[in-house]
Amino acid sequence: MTKKKQERGIHELYAQDPQQADWLLWGRKVDSTSRRGFLKKTGLLAMSAAVGAHIPFWEKMPGGLIPAALAASPEPFVIPGRDGLIVHNDRPINAETPAHLLDDKITPAHRMFVRNNGIPPVESSVDPATWTLEIAGESCVTPMSFTIAQLKERFEHHTYQLQIECGGNGRSEFNPPAKGNQWVVGAIACPTFTGVRLRDVLKACGIKDDAVYVGYYGADTHLSGDPDKVVISRGVPMEKALRDETLIAWAMNGEDIPALNGHPLRLVAGGWPGSTSGKWLKKIVIRNKEHDGPKMTGQSYRVPCTPVAPGAEVADENMCVIGSMPVKSLITFPESGIVHPQNKPLSIRGHAWAGDLDVDEVLVSIDFGATWQKASLERPANSIAWQHWSADVTLPSIGYFEIWARAIDSTGRSQPMVMPGWNPRGYLNNACHRVAVKAV
Ligand SMILES: Nc1nc2c(c(=O)[nH]1)N[C@H]1C(S)=C(S)[C@@H](COP(=O)(O)O)O[C@H]1N2
Ligand SMILES: [Mo]
């Protein structure tokens, strides 16, 4: 690899044209039917030098794929109260958690990603004692307002462990690239939330027969500074709103919700795009049509209703709103890049989740997906919590290996091994997570 190519950045090079990048860097040609990359001896030597070891399963390696050893995340940048998160943006703040720091079964607050579309309310202006939540909308029988104390007193409390994943998690891999935060894999978390059921509160206000959707409003302010502009106002269909696990929450992991994650009150619609879980929650509207607040319409949090070619432009009317998130998994141990002895079992583990569904099976591979081994998989703590998996793998020789994990949901749908269908905004990338391991 020449210096010049390195300066361009491997992601940039692959983003422009993966086949060209393969050819430039390794002289690798891709077989269009098998998708396997064919490496000549010199190319194999170049790639081995770059990843720091011979690649025993090189013949199984797909083309157009950046080796996991080189696809490593940018340097973490520290923000107060967050430990080792990768910051994509500081106004608004957007930060994700590297996979190996998501190893906890229940995500602690300091490992929870942050996705802000606007400016959060100033901490000193947030007083949980006077905070009110308004329930209104054309399909609400009796609009009402509640303080947090009234919510706590009037309705039954529930605690669930719930996954929140940004719809754009994994966007950095899309090709051609999609605009927006270049999330790698860590815009996902699964803490516990305590609050009251949205259903109980809506029922207390009365839900008209024509109700089809709810929408939320929060207390954050628009980046433009215009106090009348709404940052984001999304929602979910009635069916999701009325589920047991859909909460109006005041606590996360038994403590106040952190300021950046929505203190003092947030909606949690786990398993759906994170953008449906409104933070700094001030108002919920019951709608007689699909909610049409900012970032609900047009191309926001929507994917083409039918698959399109990479790079295609899609008219708004052919874009469909995202519901339950697709099946996905993470390898949280080991961290990508570790060194491990050959022929000695390596215990690996992680989490798997599938939106509103359960995960039925997790498989792992050490030969670029040519063969798979079944991992052991735990049941979720409750519906919409992620599930923990573990497996022992043995690396049969010295060299460079990648561990891949692939989850399959309760309807039999599997994660794709590499990229799923391209879409203009780069949502729903649920490709297999890969980590690099060098056997010595
Ligand atoms: N009021 C408000 N709610 C919001 C957002 C926001 O910018 N403002 N961002 C949404 C998006 S896009 C995501 S992915 C989640 C992220 O939740 P977190 O920051 O607690 O991780 O919050 C959602 N709720
Ligand atoms: Mo998001």
Taking the centre of ligand 1 as the mean of its atom positions, its distance from the CA of residue 58, in whole angstroms, is 41
pLDDT in tens, 26-64: 777 777 666 676 777 777 877 777 777 889 998 888 887
| Ligand 1 atom 11: residue of nearest CA | 275
- Give the position, in ligand 1's atom list, of the atom nearest the Cα of 273: 14
Q: Contact 60/67 with Cβ under 8 angstroms?
A: no
Largest interatomic CA distance in the chain = 74
Instruction: Please indicate, yes or no, whether residues 353 and 402 belong to a single structural domain of this protein.
Output: yes
Is the torsion defined by CA of 291, 292, 294, 297 positive or negative? Answer: positive
Instruction: Name the residue with tokens 């793998």.
Output: 393
Spell out the alpha helix ranges (H) of 74-156.
148-154
Q: Is residue 341 part of a domain?
A: yes
Helix axes 18-26, 41-51, angle to 10 degrees: 90
Instruction: Return the best residue to mutate from 217, 231, 232 for the ligand 1 pocket (most ligand atoms within 8 A of CB).
Output: 232
67-76, 101-110, 111-120, range with the lowest pLDDT: 67-76
Q: Is the CB of 192 under 6 A from ligand 1?
A: no
Q: Is residue 72 part of a domain?
A: no
Q: Is the CB of 272 under 6 A from ligand 1?
A: no
Instruction: Please indicate, yes or no, whether residues 297 and 193 belong to a single structural domain of this protein.
Output: yes
Instruction: Please indicate, yes or no, whether residues 113 and 177 belong to a single structural domain of this protein.
Output: yes
pLDDT in tens, 255-309: 999 999 999 999 999 999 999 999 999 999 999 999 999 999 999 999 999 999 9
**Number of domains forming the structure of the chain:** 3
User: Is the model's pLDDT at 123 over the cut of 70?
Assistant: yes
Q: Is residue 81 part of a domain?
A: no
Instruction: Please indicate, yes or no, whether residues 332 and 252 belong to a single structural domain of this protein.
Output: no
Taking the centre of ligand 2 as the mean of its atom positions, its distance from the CA of residue 280, in whole angstroms, is 15
Q: Which of 397, 410, 318, 426 is nearest to 362 (CA)?
A: 410
Instruction: Please indicate, yes or no, whether residues 278 and 416 belong to a single structural domain of this protein.
Output: no
CATH code, domain carrying 222: 3.90.420.10
Neighbours of ion ligand 2 (CB under 5 A): 115, 166, 274-275
CATH code, domain carrying 419: 2.60.40.650
- CA trace torsion 316, 319, 323, 328 (10° rounding): -130
Q: Which ligand is nearest to the CA of 114?
A: 1
Considering the chain, what percentage of its residues have pLDDT values greater than 90?
A: 71
Looking from the CA of 68 toward its CB, the CA atoms found within 13 Å total 28
Is the torsion defined by CA of 194, 197, 200, 203 positive or negative? Answer: positive
Between residues 31 and 139, which one has the greater pLDDT? 139
Please name the residues in contact with 131: beta carbons below 8 A apart, sequence gap of 6 or more.
147, 148, 264, 265
Instruction: Please indicate, yes or no, whether residues 270 and 417 belong to a single structural domain of this protein.
Output: no
CA distances from 109 to 80, 188, 255, 270, 311 (A): 12, 12, 9, 16, 37
pLDDT in tens, 321-372: 999 999 999 999 999 999 999 999 999 999 999 999 999 999 999 999 999 9
- Give the position, in ligand 1's atom list, of the atom nearest the Cα of 216: 1
Instruction: Please indicate, yes or no, whether residues 189 and 336 belong to a single structural domain of this protein.
Output: no
Q: Is residue 211 part of a domain?
A: yes
Give the per-residue pLDDT at 357: 98
Q: Which residues constitute the domain of residue 317?
A: 106-321
User: Is the model's pLDDT at 76 over the cut of 50?
Assistant: no
Q: Is residue 282 part of a domain?
A: yes
Taking the centre of ligand 2 as the mean of its atom positions, its distance from the CA of residue 166, in whole angstroms, is 4
Strand order in the sheet with 338-340: 338-340, 433-439, 399-409, 359-365, 373-374
Q: What is the mean pLDDT of residues 220-226?
A: 89
Instruction: Please indicate, yes or no, whether residues 291 and 351 belong to a single structural domain of this protein.
Output: no
Q: Which of 300, 337, 342, 303 is nearest to 320 (CA)?
A: 303
Q: Is the CB of 166 under 6 A from ligand 1?
A: yes
DSSP SS3 for 280:
coil
- Return phi, psi of residue 22, to 5°: -60, -40
Instruction: Please indicate, yes or no, whether residues 206 and 302 belong to a single structural domain of this protein.
Output: yes
pTM, rounded to two decimals: 0.89
Instruction: Return the best residue to mutate from 88, 111, 113, 277 for the ligand 1 pocket (most ligand atoms within 8 A of CB).
Output: 277
Q: Which ligand is nearest to the CA of 117?
A: 1
User: Is the model's pLDDT at 421 over the cut of 50?
Assistant: yes
Q: Is the CB of 388 under 6 A from ligand 1?
A: no
Q: Is residue 75 part of a domain?
A: no
Q: What is the mean pLDDT of residues 60-86?
A: 66
User: Mean of the per-residue pLDDT values for the chain?
Assistant: 90
Q: What is the mean pLDDT of residues 5-18?
A: 58
Instruction: Please indicate, yes or no, whether residues 362 and 425 belong to a single structural domain of this protein.
Output: yes
Taking the centre of ligand 1 as the mean of its atom positions, its distance from the CA of residue 270, in whole angstroms, is 12
